[in-house]
Chains A and B, each alone.
Chain A
């Protein structure tokens, strides 16, 4: 294969992987606080359509990002009220959130189906992007791709270098002890859930405004669920999320390149690749029980409320 083509594929993989970076890092923070929100797909969809509408109406990327994040957060707030205040089952609540999000986004997007947006411009970093090959590979993306890398840095720093991050992890590992030490477990979990919602919304905005700037019903197409799998794949470590996201970005775009190479495989079978790859990855990672037990937050998915103990 031509080297230039290889670089082109890598660049496309980064773009395709960026929605995963946002959504999976958001979910990672949520899960670190001990809450499993299976509603990522629904939050991404609602974020995608609100961002799309804001962009179509105003042309302002800032507003699109703001609206998408807010929408994702509102969705997460529903989940928070159900699971944190009303102590409902997290699995059922997350599923409800996704079903609701699929319906709500289809409804909001009725008047926007098949409208195309101009997309957002690339922002080559001056000087650095002029470096041959590497400049193109590392320094010539749009602002949301850079934003996702900044998010990775912030999340890693927050979780492992700050006191607040330590408390958040503590709440995920041992909510009872955190409560006994005087921390407000429910409030901390609310913040983590809302953050996850905002990031899922932002991932959705990236999809509908930058990656494929056309609204199509259900356009998230399982990426929310893949993001959930990526958190497991990354064994709850931020940097590995980035690696997994780009790997899945590459798999997502591989189908188009395989067709481009003239290999005759029906498109439907190629479209199965990301989903099959997710299953494969889950199997490989989950097989190692000790690694999962060591890394997954100990209270993940278990309802905690001080009134209830």
Chain B
């Protein structure tokens, strides 16, 4: 062996920030290879996938629209992940947020009150919290694994949403299509910039990330979560109540996912549909990791992930690239990150002959 693994005396701060960049670059290189394998001109495909979608103001707006739920949910999940509390149920919590928020929009359909939107967001948050409370409760009371419970609830939530739009919440004048009425203007988020679809929800999401930053970096609870994640026993000895941290970790994901769900239907979607998310709840997990579980990093990684979604759509339209490529890119990005993180704690040394002899 010419290359030797050597533990670093201290984790490398440089590598901590470089490894997401390394991962992103490796993912882009893999993209070129995948495009070539698919028989596309790699440069043209690269342009269609990563540049074309954001070459104008409208495209930038779309980027932020897609990034908004990812950064919001990613921040909420990161709060739990820091303490090794694994809420994998954001996709379902988002669906519940959409259901609760959408229900408000439907029962107040036709009203022009200014209170509808805030009420939708509030109810969306409640929906997400309630759904996330189930795994938190089952974990704290019965010790049931929160990963499996929250994941199972994703399937349940999506079936619930499907049931509702096929039945009770279906538009009675909608020719039997599984969708709700189109929301009134009072239930729709206003557009912020003329010529784009950039809506108020993006601003709300960015504010949410800011609140997450204050909570994690400036508050005592954020510190407790960090300690619990690094050394659960130490946290217990210090008198931190781990059960309380489980609740905080799970519900922070729930509230952000619930709000994101309400913002999605009040923003780009405008009604309840059988599906309100192209996997944002799962993609947000990657966003949280690639963003180093830090709100600032999450903001940046959500933009990258949003670009993967936009690129998937653009590549499909312009070059007939299958949109499933997006999922492959997402998985690869996280693989590369986890692999590159190795260099935070270890360094590679070339073995010199002399040392081997000696």
Contact = CB atoms under 8 A, between A and B. Distances in A.
Interface of A: 38, 78, 81-82, 86-89, 91-93, 95-97, 99-104, 106-107, 110, 221-222, 225-226, 228-229, 232, 266, 268-269, 271-272, 275-276, 278-279, 282-283, 286-287, 289, 292, 307-308
A226 B156 CA distance: 13
18 contacts: A87-B342, A87-B345, A88-B341, A91-B86, A92-B334, A96-B286, A99-B327, A100-B331, A103-B326, A110-B324, A229-B148, A232-B145, A268-B160, A272-B159, A278-B148, A279-B138, A286-B145, A289-B143
B298 interface: no
B330 interface: yes
B163 A268 contact: yes
Contacts of B338: 82, 86, 88-89, 92-93, 96
Contact of B322 (A92, A95, A107, A278): A107
A228 B149 CA distance: 11
B7 interface: yes
B156 A275 contact: yes
Interface string B325-349: 1111111101100110110011000
B327 A107 contact: yes
Contact of B328 (A38, A82, A104, A307): A104
Contacts of B159: 268-269, 271-272
A86 B327 contact: no
Contact of A279 (B88, B149, B160): B149
A81 B331 CA distance: 15
Given A89-B338, A95-B88, A275-B155, A307 B327 contact: no
B115 interface: no
B7 A307 contact: yes
Given A104-B324, A104-B331, 9 more contacts: A92-B338, A100-B331, A103-B324, A222-B152, A225-B151, A268-B162, A271-B159, A283-B142, A287-B142
Contacts of A283: 138, 142, 144
Interface residues of B, number: 47
Contacts of A86: 338-339, 341-342
Nearest to B150: A279
A268 B155 CA distance: 10
A188 B341 CA distance: 24
A106 B283 CA distance: 16
Given A279-B149, A282-B144, A103 B328 contact: yes
B5 interface: yes
A266 B328 contact: no
Contacts of B334: 92, 95-96, 99-100
Nearest to A228: B148
Contact of B335 (A82, A102, A286): A82
Contacts of A229: 145, 148, 152
Nearest to A39: B331
B167 interface: yes
A109 to B, nearest CB: 8
